[in-house]
Chains A and B, each alone.
Chain A
Amino acid sequence: MLWLILGLLLGVVGYWLVTWTRARGIRVTWYEYLIEIAALILALVAIQNFVASLAELEPQAAWILLALFGVPALILACVAGFMIWRRQKSANLIAKV
């Protein structure tokens, strides 16, 4: 059930993101996609380890594993987002000039 809900959410979010970026004319390079996919995989690993460790009655392991995989996931997602935002900003500036 957990993975069904997660899959649905990811599908909706993914579809919305791609549609939104295309509609806004935001260009995303292949390596930015790659970083985002890596962030997503790390986030999924963090969620799986967190929920499964709680089910194992190991809360200490759950929180440490969430941080261990979740923090790199967040950092990678932010890096990709920042790269896209910066390029978009400079493109807008060039267009204005």
Chain B
Amino acid sequence: MPENLTRREFLKDLGLLSAGVTLAPVAAQGESLDSLMERADAGWRPQSPARPAWVREVDKPTTEVDWDKVQRWDERNTAFNFPRYFGDERLKKLQTIQNENMARFLKESRPGFTLKDYALNEGSRYRAFANVTGAEFPFLGPRTALPPEKRGTPKYTATPEEAARVVAAAARFYGAATVGFVELDPRTTQKLIFSHDGDGKQIEFADVELAEETNDKRIIPNKVRYAIVFTVQMSPDAYYTAPTAIAAATTGFGYEQGGLIQGRLQEFLRALGYQGVGEYSRNALGIAPGLAIYAGLGELSRHNRLLTPEYGPLVRVFKMITDLPLAPSKPVDAGIVEFCKRCKKCAEACPAKAIPFDDEPSWKVRGEFNSPGHKAWFDDAVKCRAYWFEISFGCTICYAACPLARKDKAFMHTFRNWLVANAAATGGALKSLDDLLYGTPDASAKPMKNPADWWKLDLPEFGIDTTRGKRDA
């Protein structure tokens, strides 16, 4: 260690080290600063949007091919053509062994082969498009999974807490973001189930054994009273282009995902030995934000939608009901309602002027389109929907504008969430900071991000980050 450094040398060394510390993170990413900033442009490849430097493009694949010897292949030659390679007799024997082993593993409760494991597999094999013509789908579900009695085993039993954990794990595996549970009580939470669905069918709770659907009714047995409420993430980058067809694409995609997850869960529950009734169509069965709030998935926001602590408003909400006893989750307070009192960014951004600017939520509804009996910032839903026609798709600009609709990698978001939960007075300042950092859509419906640039982004699958909001059920 040199001990005769001059002050100038000391400051020079310090400067070099500071530069090193500052640039190290960029180098650690394996990319230059320029490539980080311009990733969206020149180097983009459809198949390799952001591959690390050690993946080299080569002229020939690493598998040698002699094209003169290659002919187009007949798929029937693959080993999945069991009769061809096993012969009928051996195949029968193998299938007998398979069935016997399946039953034995189940009886032994071998880890990975218990009833809930089989049920998970059954649910994953649900094929939505095979049921598009089925009149009873999806309220009652596809009902193709093998129930326990056909496997020769009793139905799944567990404590409500354990069952809730298992259902939440399955729901997340099938694509749900967050999952919560509500026990329906005729005096309270059962009132969140619609009296009639959008197609005019009455939803009736009755002392019957099995759920049923007739020409004018959907009948839910009284014992089917455990609501499963789950969210599906929507893509922030798509929403930042709202109101456009790109933003509408993630809305539509979210709804379709929700439908798929519902079908999978219905099959999963059936394989466990229980019933699962669901939405006959998007937004059917019950009041989604109401059930989600009681399930602890978030709070009711100024734009009169669910606002979650994990994804802000960028979710779609789905619900179904089962007779598998599930421990209810508790409502949450993440400071969101208090934050909404001060922020008002969604109201400022709304081109239809459908979101109120009132400081406090109110009991007073703005029309028959609002369900009364709770305090809320009731939106003028008719003005909102009318604007949808004008813009040609669902608008959703209020979702994009929300400061809680940002991603979660930067520490700033964690700090903001902490302030939202613990220092309500900072709401206005946080809104101003969000305007500065991420921009703001104006009332002329100018998107926050240029929709043309969306096509250049390197987004993850489905445009969402599935590592967000991970939590134990």
Contact = CB atoms under 8 A, between A and B. Distances in A.
A13 to B, nearest CB: 5
A9 B21 contact: yes
Given A9-B20, A20-B5, A64-B436, A56 B410 contact: yes
B437 A61 contact: yes
Interface string A38-64: 000001010111111111111111001
Contact of A56 (B20, B24, B407): B407
B3 A49 contact: no
Nearest to B458: A57
A65 interface: yes
A34 interface: no
A24 B410 contact: no
Contact of A52 (B22, B24, B411, B439): B411
B24 A5 contact: yes
B1 A23 contact: yes
Given A23-B3, A49-B410, A55-B409, A6 B25 contact: yes
B400 to A, nearest CB: 13
B69 interface: no
A2 B31 CA distance: 12
A52 B410 contact: yes
Nearest to A88: B7
Contacts of A61: 410, 412, 437-438
A10 interface: yes
Contacts of B37: 54, 59
Nearest to A70: B22
A85 B6 CA distance: 12
Interface centre among A2, A10, A43, A54 (most CB of B within 10 A): A54
Contacts of A93: none
Contact of A47 (B7, B22, B412, B436): B22
Contacts of A50: 25
B13 to A, nearest CB: 9
A70 B127 CA distance: 53
Interface size band for A? 20 to 34
Contacts of B25: 2, 5-6, 47, 50-51
A1 B411 CA distance: 17
Given A19-B1, A52-B410, A65-B410, A60 B438 contact: yes
B29 interface: yes
Contacts of B14: 81
A73 B10 CA distance: 19
25 contacts: A2-B24, A5-B24, A5-B28, A6-B21, A6-B24, A9-B20, A9-B21, A10-B21, A20-B10, A23-B3, A47-B22, A48-B410, A49-B411, A51-B29, A52-B409, A52-B410, A53-B412, A54-B37, A56-B407, A56-B409, A57-B40, A58-B410, A58-B438, A60-B437, A60-B438
Given A56-B407, A64-B437, 17 more contacts: A2-B28, A2-B29, A9-B17, A19-B1, A45-B411, A47-B22, A49-B410, A50-B25, A51-B29, A52-B410, A55-B409, A56-B410, A58-B407, A58-B410, A61-B410, A64-B436, A65-B412
Interface of A: 1-2, 5-6, 9-10, 13, 16, 19-20, 23-24, 43, 45, 47-61, 64-65, 81, 85
In the A-B complex, the 3 residue pairs with the smallest Cβ-Cβ separation, listed nearest first, are A52-B409, A52-B410, A61-B437
Interface of B: 1, 3, 5, 7, 10, 14, 17, 20-22, 24-29, 36-37, 40, 237, 406-407, 409-412, 436-439, 457
